[in-house]
Structure 1
Amino acid sequence: MPLEGPARIVSELTSRGYNAEREAVTLIASAEHPSKTLEAALEAAPEDALVLRTEHVRTALEHEKSRTDTGSETPSEPPSAGTDSSSTAASQDPSVSTGDDPTSSTPDGGVVADETKGAGTRGPIDTTRQVVEIANDMTGESTGTGEYKDFVKVFRDRLERLGSKLRGRVNHRPATSIASMPSGSEVAMVGLVNDVRSTASGHWLVELEDATGTFPWLVMKDREYAELVEELLCDEVIAMEGTLSDDSGIAFVDGMYFPDIPRTHKPSTADRHVQAALISDVHVGSQEFMHDAWNGFTDWLHTEDAQHVEYLLIAGDMVEGVGIYPNQDEELDVVDIYDQYELFNEYLKQVPGDLEIVMIPGNHDAVRLAEPQPGFDERLRGIMDAHDPQIVSNPSVVTLEGVSVLMYHGVSLDEVIAELPAEKASYDEPHKAMYHLLKKRHVAPQFGGHTRLAPEEKDYLTIDEVPDIFHTGHVHKLGFGKYHNVLAINSGCWQSQTDFQKSVNINPDSGYAPIVDLDTLDVTVQKFS
């Protein structure tokens, strides 16, 4: 069968009123006689099946192999896959994403619509065109021990990698070299922000540190750069240039530079009309999880309106977790963390089976709190088996048909919003707080604050390559915009306001699904609440 075989197989099945699991299509396409295997698999499927499953194809292939091994040329009826234990289990707990039973129910008792029949249903996806690449995934790569040398190593790596984006813009010198230069010299330095404080006269003193030592830089309050000081966070990498004082003990700042996104950045786009749904903070297990909104979202994914949605990216907090904040147990519907993931997996089954799903953990998920956070362990991966999602670390770079998406859960946004003036970063416009992370080229620059950071051999939190899309969650607010042609999206949540959120005055944006056209990077927002 030619290369377009999988697409032809999906089309053939659709014409007969069937949907199919991706692995089932792959098995048929790779069979010696795909057409015969497809017919045998349909015979092996139960009469009332609406979905051709992997076990149906395996049954047909085993029967074909058995006939070949015994030399039998007499056609015989393949055994029904519905009679083995795995099929029995499937019939007792059907995948609601593929519509085995048109009256099958969702975890909360809702009815799942038949996805292959009736007007308005999405057509088959040519899964052979779906291309997903993952970069910066540190799952299984953690080497940090928490020793002092690990912290030194990660900060030196940060300074080297982000400093390389600045050294070509200024005639930089090491801190110790600057201190020995004559007064009045024009000097420049690239370093980590070690301290920021105001003087008695209202000026700003910024101390930069590099591998050789520290040096103080004075920003006069009436200079244009004074406003930029308000944006600084400790431990971020910047460059400063200026003039040495009479005693060479300090430099007066004439210029300040961030690693930043080039204004000339031109984002990549897909070469066909294809869409991605970007969501986060589902919080299954919470009493405030929005069942109806989620069911509305997954129902919509099965409609013709969503026929171009081929990717689903989830930016963390799939479940509510346990012990995340005071008295959380009083707000839980499901108190066991593994039961929460089992339930989330059931909800994930409502999503069409031909979507590519990528997810990263968040601070409510069952991984370490310190960032970077590795993807789930084997036990959780065993539970999260619906549609075989790719579960990668927080953060990671996911490239969809040439469009790079930096996925980061977003805990550091709390710190950015707390540290910066309200007009520069707020919960009401979370995408503008994201702009500052892009400007700093680091998703969590400040160490020792509210964001827990783990030292590794390299700094996995730097933004080395400019992404086309920056996707975060965590703050439960919806917002999107473009910064130097990078699309920044914070995707809201699927949890209504909790008592804890009320206590800290957070009014969440719940039940929204931003949909991105990967060929244009345009955004539409679907509301389900």
Structure 2
Amino acid sequence: MINKFLEIEVLLTPDVYKALKQLKNEDIEMIIKKIKEFKRYNNKLILLDKNFLEIFTLNSLDEIINKYKDFDFISYYTGEKEEKKEEIKEEVIKEREEKEETKEEKEEVKEELPTIEEKEKTKNESLIEIRESFKSRINWIAKDIETKVKIYEDTDVSGKSTCTGSIEDFIKYFRDRYERLKKFIERKAKRKAKAIKDIRKVEEDVFTVGLVSDVSQRKNGDLLVRIEDLEDEILLILQKDKINNGELPDDILLDEVIGATGMVKNGVMYVNEIIRPSPTPKEPKRIDEEIYMCFLSDIHVGSNEFLKKDFEKFIRFLNGETNNGFEERIVSRLKYICIAGDLVDGVGVYPGQEEDLYEIDIIKQYEEIANFIEQIPEHIAIIISPGNHDAVRPAEPQPRLPDEITKLFNRDNIYFVGNPCVLNIHDFNTLLYHGRSFDDLVSQVRTASYENPTTIMKELIKRRLLCPTYGGRCPIAPEHKDYLVIDKDIDILHTGHIHINGYGIYRGIVMVNSGTFQEQTDFQKRMGIKPTPSIVPIINLSKVGQKGHYIEWDKGIVELRY
């Protein structure tokens, strides 16, 4: 019985312990349940005496919450309520007056008798010891689990950038995109694509692959799509009737690579099917061992809207400050944290940003986030990639944070990678991408919305391309290799950027869009974007896709979501 109360940080006085032993088990469970619910509103350590046992037994939960949600239990059970501070002070003075007979005695008494500040310090030290005793109860299972992180270096541009913005760079960039995605499309179609230059003016059952160079619409509703391969181009006609009945898509984007089958007449293809390089549906990946991975992004240290207290609360959770056995189980087995960019708010990211910052020195911003990261238990492996507010080039793909930044992070078990990058984390191929292209997809695809980030993420998976269209709001550096192509078979796609949490599974791939630790900004207000701050997604890697696998830490409360 005592352990059940200890799990929710409730201590029992001896007389209450005796009284509880006389109660039925269901009555005890009812009291525990009430206290659990109450501690959502007041998470102070509780010493359950006869008075509060009666309160939790006889009163409704609503009555208890309304009356005691702001109650200072600590001051109550130490006998030092705010309203009695003056009485305490008078008592101390009186004690001294009784003992002080000479000036010399007065000095001795001053040394012997505790001051009000010393009493307060003793009380605080006692509370720290009690808190630490709770933390020490946690069996850190993740400490004994081997860290398994492998970076797929061919997916990370760090140290490999060669582009200068020349015509030749652009040619190599789009050629690489076309050739790599063409292989996936041919594999899906189970046939080789015909070069456009070899297509006759009249031909049945043609299959070809090309990069989309133009999209327009006829007055009758037919969609006109021009594609090109390495040597030629052809016009595709997607008839309105086939679009309306779902046989053909209406969301073809510039610069994506598609396959098309159909009949050619007078050098124009009438399309029967559009084939995209999307991965084949599969069962979600799972492992045998119960291990948890959590996902962060968009912390924005340095911003006036940075939710520092919430982030500190999350760090305390990682260090074992839990409310119940369920939370303890999760944190004891939490092994990995992925951070998908925007650790800091940066400097000079947009005009007038200085007015929105409490810290205008970017190095000090990184020193602050590094200090937070250093407080995370060392057995938790941390993977960090940059975002558009970080101290790297704004154009994607972005290299890892520079050495003058990474050296500020004084801890082991930390991995710095570029944006995007694929890693194998405990057998899960995990793609980290900050998500700048979301701003383009929302305006281009009818079904995509900020409010539901997975509607955007599906479009990236469908096209195996993290930023399909060149020249939009997402700047792209024309590297000789297109690092935005998803050519690995991934198990997890982790994104951020839009400050709204989202979760789902598409074709067996887990989609996690982590939220933010930044309150709504003036820009977001103008855009009508409502962020979901201080929510951290956590996944049980042994149960992906099954009941109870997806959890959220929400401003200090941990709840099962799926």
TM score, norm. by length of structure 1: 0.75
SS, match of residue 242 in structure 2: coil
Residues 120 and 438 (structure 1), Cα distance of their counterparts in 2 relative to 1, 3 Å cut: farther
Measure, in 2, the Cα distance between the counterparts of 1:120 and 1:495: 32
Identity %: 35
Q: Alpha-carbon deviations, 1:284-304, whole Å to 9, x = none? A: 000100011111111111222
Q: List aligned pairs for 1:267-346, cutoff 5 A.
A: 267-303=284-320, 304-305=328-329, 306-346=331-371
Contact map agreement 2:285 2:508 (CA 8 A) in 1: no
- Give SS of 2:363's match: helix
Partner of residue 13, structure 2: none
Residues 374, 409 of structure 2: 8 Å contact kept: no
- The partner residue of 1:361 within 373, 380, 386 is 386
Q: Does 1:219 align with 2:242?
A: no
Q: CA deviation at 1:116?
A: 6.2
Cα distance, 1:482–1:253 mapped onto 2, change above 3 Å = same
Work out whether residues 379 and 413 of structure 2, in 8 Å CA contact, stay in contact via their aligned partners in 1. no
Q: 1:113 to 1:455 in 2, by over 3 A?
A: farther
What is the CA distance between 1:186 and its match in structure 2?
A: 2.6
Deviation of 1:214 (Å): 1.1
The one of 261, 271, 274 equivalent to 2:279 is: 261
Q: Which amino acid counterpart does residue 295 of structure 1 have in structure 2?
A: E
Q: Where does 1:375-394 land on structure 2 (aligned, <5 Å)?
A: 375-387=400-412, 389-394=414-419
Following superposition, the deviation at residue 378 of structure 1 comes to 1.1
Please state whether the residue corresponding to 2:185 is helix, strand or coil. coil
The corresponding residue for 2:260 is 240
* Deviation string, structure 1 residues 132-177 (Cα, Å, up to 9, x no partner): 1111222111122221111111211111111001124155211211
The answer to whether the aligner puts 1:185 opposite 2:204 as a matched pair is yes
Partners of 2:440 and 2:217 lie apart in 1 by 20
SS of 1:287's partner is coil
Corresponding residue number in structure 1 for 2:269: 251
Shift of 1:113: 9.1
2:250 to 226, 230, 236: 230
1:504 paired with 2:527, answer yes
Amino acid at match of 1:333: Y
Verify the 8 A CA contact 2:374 2:410 in the aligned structure 1: no
The structure in which a higher percent of residues are helix is: 2
Aligned partners of 1:358 and 1:119: how far apart in 2?
25
Deviation at 1:118, TM superposition (A): 2.6
Deviations, residues 416-435 of structure 1 (Å, cap 9, x unaligned):
111111xx110110012101
Summarize the alignment of residues 63-102 of structure 1 with structure 2, pairs less than 5 Å apart.
none
Question: In structure 2, what is the equivalent of residue 204 of structure 1?
Answer: 223
Unaligned 5+ segments in structure 1 are 1-102, 105-110
Q: Check whether the contact 1:367–1:375 (CA below 8 A) recurs between aligned residues.
A: yes
8 Å Cα contact 1:345/1:386 also seen in 2:
no
Q: Distance between the aligned counterparts of 1:282 and 1:379, measured in 2?
A: 20
Cα separation, partners in 2 of 1:252 and 1:527, compared to 1, 3 Å: same
Name the structure 1 match of 2:476: 453
Is 1:176 the counterpart of 2:194 in the alignment?
no
1:502–1:387 distance in 2 versus 1, CA, 3 Å:
farther
* 1:439 partner SS: helix
**In structure 2, what is the Cα distance between the partners aligned to 1:243 and 1:329?**
59
Alpha-carbon distance in 2 for matches of 1:141, 1:115: 49
- The CA RMSD over aligned residues, in Å, is 2.2
Structure 1 residues 324, 115: CA separation in 2 closer, same or farther (over 3 Å shift)? farther
Distance 1:237 1:112 in 2: 60
Q: Letter of the 1:233 partner, please give it.
A: L
The alpha-carbon deviation at position 442 of structure 1 amounts to: 1.0
Tell me which moved more, 359-368 or 394-403: 394-403
Where 1:277 maps in the other structure, the secondary structure is strand
- The alpha-carbon distance between structure 1 residues 351 and 126, as it changes in their structure 2 partners (threshold 3 A), is closer
Partner deviation per Cα, 1:269-289 (whole Å, 9 max, x = no partner)? 233111011111000000100
Paired with 1:418 and 1:284, the residues of 2 have a C-alpha distance of 29
Deviates more, 1:320-329 or 1:470-479: 320-329
Q: Report the 3-state secondary structure (helix = DSSP H, G, I; strand = E; otherwise coil) of the residue aligned with 1:297.
A: helix
Q: Could you say if the C-alpha distance between residues 149 and 119 of structure 1 is closer, same or farther in structure 2, counting changes exceeding 3 Å? A: closer
- Which amino acid in 2 is paired with 1:528? K
Residues 115 and 270 (structure 1), Cα distance of their counterparts in 2 relative to 1, 3 Å cut: farther
Give the 3 Å change call, closer, same or farther, for CA 360–253 of structure 1 in structure 2: same
Distance 2:222 2:371 in 1: 58
Q: What is the SS of the residue equivalent to 2:406?
A: helix
Given candidates 159, 162, 179, the residue that maps to 1:140 is 159
CA contact (8 A) 1:278 1:514 kept: yes
Partner residue, 1:159: 178
Q: Write out aligned runs for 1:376-455 (5 A).
A: 376-387=401-412, 389-421=414-446, 424-455=447-478
TM-score, length basis structure 2: 0.71
CA contact (8 A) 1:204 1:226 kept: no
Amino acid corresponding to residue 133 of structure 1 in structure 2:
K
User: Which residue type is aligned with residue 236 of structure 2?
Assistant: W
> Aligned partners of 1:113, 1:520: CA distance in 2, in Å?
36
Distance 2:436 2:130 in 1: 39
Structure 2 residue 146 is the aligned partner of structure 1 residue 129: yes
The range that moved more, 320-329 or 285-294, is: 320-329
The answer to whether the Cα contact below 8 Å between 1:192 and 1:237 also exists between their aligned partners in 2 is yes
Q: Deviations over 1:68-112 (max 9, x none)?
A: xxxxxxxxxxxxxxxxxxxxxxxxxxxxxxxxxxx99xxxxxx99
Which residue of structure 1 lines up, in the alignment, with residue 503 of structure 2?
Answer: 480
Partners of 2:275 and 2:508 in 1: how far apart? 19
Partner in structure 2 of residue 347 of structure 1: 372
Deviation digits for residues 321-365 of structure 1, max 9, x if unmatched? 112223221110100111110111112122222210001000000
Moved more, 381-390 or 463-472: 381-390
CA, structure 1 residues 278+219, in 2 after alignment: closer, same or farther (shift >3 Å)? same
Q: In structure 2, what is the equivalent of residue 46 of structure 1?
A: none
Distance 1:322 1:508, change over 3 A: same
1: CA distance, partners of 2:274 / 2:204? 17
Match in the other structure for 2:490: 467
Instruction: Answer yes or no: is the 8 Å Cα contact 1:112–1:299 preserved in 2.
Output: no
Q: Is this contact kept in 1: 2:212–2:225, CA < 8 A?
A: yes
**Distance of 1:283 and 1:527 partners within structure 2:** 18
Once residues 129 and 469 of structure 2 are traced to their aligned partners in structure 1, the CA distance between those partners, rounded to angstroms, is 48
Q: Cα 1:121–1:413, aligned 2, differ >3 Å: closer, same or farther?
A: farther
Counterpart code for 1:378: D
